Structures are given as C-alpha cells and as structure tokens.
Structure 1
C-alpha cells in the first residue's frame, strides 16, 4: 500500500503567470465523468443499523476501502481480524462524529459536479502521463483525520473536511486560514493532488526549504492546469487580497528568504513555517500561510516557460538546485 497522503477576478499578471501553458503540455479531447463509489454511504448504513449481515456485503464490495480506512484511521491491521467491525462502530458512534458523518453524507448526497471535474482532471493527467493508472475513486468520513487515502489503485477523500467554511462544527476545531480550504470547490483538486503525490512521492530532503517548495509547487502547477476553473487564490487557500499581495511582493519575499539563508539550511522547524497554513508572520504581518508553496509554484512556472518541458519531465527532475538553475527564476 502506498503512503497515506495526509477548497474570479485577479490581477492580470497573476492570471497570466499561472495559466501560461508550454506547447509540450497536452490537452485531452474527450472527457467522461469519473464515478465516485460511495463507501461513505454504505458504511453509515451499517453504523446506523448495526446490522451484522451488512458486514459481509461491505467486505465483498469495499475490501480495499475497509483495509485502508482500518489502517489509516483506526490503526487496525486487517478487516479480517476479530472485533474489527466492533471497533468501527465504536469509533463512528461517538455522538459528535456521528452527527458530522450524517451531515457530510447529506451534504454530498449528489456529487455529479465533482465527478465531472474528476473526469476532466484525470483525462488531463492521463494524456500527459500516459502510463499513469487512473484510480478507483471513493468517499469516506474520517472524523477530521486522514484527508486523502491512496493505495495502488484506490483514492478516497474524507468529505467531512469539505463542508464549507461556515459549517458550525468547524468553528470549534479550525482557524479561519484552515476553514477557507474546507470547501466543496476544492474537493476535486485535492483528489488530483493526492493522486499526484501518491504517484510521484517526495524524494528530496524534508528539512530543506528549496526541496519542499519546488515539490509542492509542482503539484499546484499541474492541478491548476488540470482544473483551470479553480483560481490560483482558491488553490492556495488565500483570499484574493492575499494572493494579490503575494504577486506585488514576490521580489521582496524571495530576497528575504535568500538574505536569511533559509533556502538551503537544513532546519526542519524553519522550513515547516514556510509550508504551514498559518500566516507567515515571521516574514511580515501581511504574509499569508504556505508562502513556500506559492513561491515554489512561481519557480515551477518559470522552469516550464524556460524549458518547454513535458509534465513527465517536470516530475522526473528531482534535483532542486539544478531545477532552480534551469528555471532562471527572476521575480
């Protein structure tokens, strides 16, 4: 099993920057919706009725989902072990979680919009990564646990993390800068990002900022090309004014990172600050969170313009220092 991957108007310069598409990037001619298999609904029916006859049906219809949910959320090794379903019921019967579960299934009763987006997004990935397998897509509820679950041919999204930033329960658990990403409009984008990360796992040094920012920037770059209707600000989880601030201050941000010698210093704590959703107030009071990913996205855009590379080449280039040199990034 692969590693578990733990939502309209902008400055013209920002749109131009992020939408430029090198000629080596392919565009699909035909797209069909991706059917989402509703493991979330099937499991809720079992939890609410506690009908043991449904256990065999779940094992028959969703063996891989039971396995990955058991390992990724419940810390259980196999759905075949004695007491597996008892622990599933115990976990999901907690009153707050059970109400959240029912709210999520009600909110996502129909998912045609997401299936259509996934069809377009995965068609884009397939034409640019011909050897990439398209996964079977599911939905689950994790109780604010694992957001995206990925296995060899399976991808599932935890829909309780996409209830809209005004969802009442979120007010007790999440900050404003976290809730802005918890929207239906970002569900398809997170499916695609989760699969890209599963197919192309990070191979750099976790403690080196340049390694992390380029990797995260690659993911944002590709997802935006696959789903261009999701604006750069939405994809970053920014308010429009915050995105525009980044564009206006790109040179200052880059110079600050260089001057502080943060780009190559193997300092996990410092590097994490650049990738955290929490506002990067250690740089300035106005700097939004995850600024490392945003700058990484700009570096990737520059690399693609300079090299007219295919997306396969983009993801295969693992040397961050060489990548930066070839990008000729000049904010």
Structure 2
C-alpha cells in the first residue's frame, strides 16, 4: 500500500487483524418464508446484530420495500469493498499503536441502516459497523430530501474518515453539562478532529472537516478575523445552547453577519477547536494522544495553547 510521505510518528503502526463480514449480503439472501429456519446460522456469525431483537423483526425487514430498495443500491455500488478495507486497516493500526487497546483482532461489519443518518459508522471495543446505504454518492436519489451540504457527505471517500472519527469519539468522555461553555465544546470537538487527523495523516485536510478545498482555504486566509469575531463578541464562554448549536452543528454556512457569510463553512467552532488543540500539542510535545484524551480541563488546554492567529 502506498501512502503520501508522513513523519515517523504518524507512520508508526501496530499490526492488527481485521475480520470482515458483509451482513447485508448474507441477510438479504434469505427469503421471508424461510427466515425463521435460516436465522440461527446467521446469528452465530453476526451475533451483535441480533441483540434485543426477535425473529419477526428480521422477517419484517426482508419484506420492507425501503430496505430492499436500499440493499439493491448497496449491492450494485459495493459489490467489493477492498479499497475501503485497505484504507481502514492503517487507521486501526495507528489506533492500536497510539492507544494500545486490549484487542489484537478487529471485526468490520457492513449493513443497510435504512438511512440512519445519525450513525453512518459505529465503533465499540473491537467492533466496527459501517452503514453502506449512507455512502451511495451525493447525487444518489436516496438523499433527495437532504440539503446539498449534507448530501455531499454521502460519498464513499468519507468512509475511512468517518471510521477514524468514530474511533476518536469512542475515546472521549462526553460531558453533558448544560453550563458547558462554547469554548469547552469547541476544544472537545477539536480533540476528536486532531485524533482523526493523526489516524489518517495521508488524508486531505479539508476532507477531515467535511469541507471543500475552497472552504478550508477561506478559513485559513481569514483565521485571525474569524478568531477575533469569537473574542470580540464574547462567545467563548457563552453557555447558551443555541450558540453552541450555531457553531458546532452542520450548516450550509456560518452566520457572522458579514457579506462573506456564504463563504464561511458551517461547524466553524470545530475547526477553531482543532486549531487550538493543534497549537497546544505543538507546545507540549511530551503529551501523547493517550494523555490528550484524558485532559478534560478544556479551558486549561486553551490557556496553555496561547492560540493567537
């Protein structure tokens, strides 16, 4: 496998074994009439899918027209996933190297989620689940009801990025405090993105943020002005839910009240959080990724980073 050049640390990997199961291919071979006789064998191979479900649930899926139509699209688009596997294995190897989880073997399962947009990739312990019906391409009619800025994320090129991000999410302890500041939220998201970047050092940076190249270029060229907007409007320590939503959640653009708003991508707070975390790690080269995920005093990270673009 050929990668772009990267540093010794970024290219350091620990070997892992990845077992792949195409659940959707094996499941949709079954017929609704004989499903009760066929499921026991499938349950032995794909046990995680059958937790808290009964056999009737699975027969109904085999009769569901939406599921069947989505499976047909997945079957046509993802007959093979060799390229995706080749991209995912190094992510797991870097995860193993940096965080030393107690697993030598990982399991990848693909499936059809019936467009469960909230969970394109799920990672838990040694198990990785990828909903292939969420990667059929941004122009696919399945996403016709979604706005374009969200539909563009349904490209298969985002699969390894979503895998790396799901791993990073699994490492971070979420703090469900209503009084949490925007700054804390930004830095926590920045840590996830920083880990994602370390697990995929060869990936184009704008893809990590789900931006276009032009969007990231705009942010980089206007970094100081963007930062001053947060500072001058006293947003960093704002605890209002809508403030956090406006700067963290997906959006076609970020409203700053300028004539350039349509050029400013959404989720701007995540990008600034990434810049702060990157600055913090550059100033603290002795801190490992394993140390970073233990850091929950996000304001301390901010002050130590001394981020001043």
TM-score, structure 1 length as denominator?
0.81
Q: Which moved more, 1:157-166 or 1:39-48?
A: 39-48
Give the match for residue 106 of structure 1: 76
Q: Secondary structure at the match of 2:110?
A: strand
Within the alignment, does 1:136 sit opposite 2:107 as a pair?
yes
The 8 Å contact of residues 118 and 188 in structure 1, kept in 2 or not, is answered as yes
Matches within 5 A, 1:83-232: 84-91=54-61, 93-131=63-101, 133=103, 135-145=106-116, 146-170=119-143, 172-203=144-175, 205=177, 207-232=180-205
Q: Which moved more, 1:227-236 or 1:117-126?
A: 227-236
Q: What's the CA shift for 1:246?
A: 0.6
Q: What's the CA shift for 1:30?
A: 6.1
- Off by >6 Å, runs of 4+ in structure 1: none
Change beyond 3 A, Cα 1:213–1:86: same
Q: 1:276 aligns with which of 231, 235, 249?
A: 249
For the aligned residue pairs, the C-alpha RMSD in angstroms reads 2.4
Q: What's the CA shift for 1:120?
A: 0.6
C-alpha distance after superposition, 1:156-204 (max 9, x if no partner): 011111111121221x221111122111111122122212212333236
* C-alpha separation in 2, matches of 1:47 and 1:90: 11
Q: 1:62 aligns with which of 34, 42, 46?
A: 46
Q: 1:237 aligns with which of 172, 192, 210?
A: 210
* C-alpha separation in 2, matches of 1:35 and 1:63: 14
TM-score, structure 2 length as denominator?
0.87
Q: What's the CA shift for 1:301?
A: 0.9
Q: Secondary structure at the match of 1:139?
A: strand
Q: What's the CA shift for 1:36?
A: 2.4
Change beyond 3 A, Cα 1:327–1:195: same
The 8 Å contact of residues 214 and 297 in structure 1, kept in 2 or not, is answered as yes
C-alpha distance after superposition, 1:82-107 (max 9, x if no partner): xx232233246332332112211331
Q: 1:44 aligns with which of 28, 36, 39?
A: 28
Q: Secondary structure at the match of 2:30?
A: helix
Q: Secondary structure at the match of 2:80?
A: coil
Long gaps (5+) in structure 1: 1-18, 68-77
Q: Secondary structure at the match of 1:35?
A: strand
Q: Secondary structure at the match of 2:109?
A: strand
* Higher RCO (CA < 8 A, seq sep 6+): 1
* C-alpha separation in 2, matches of 1:50 and 1:258: 64
Long gaps (5+) in structure 2: none
Q: 1:326 aligns with which of 295, 301, 304?
A: 304
Change beyond 3 A, Cα 1:135–1:31: closer
The 8 Å contact of residues 281 and 287 in structure 1, kept in 2 or not, is answered as yes
Give the match for residue 298 of structure 1: 275
Q: Secondary structure at the match of 1:263?
A: coil
* C-alpha separation in 2, matches of 1:36 and 1:327: 41
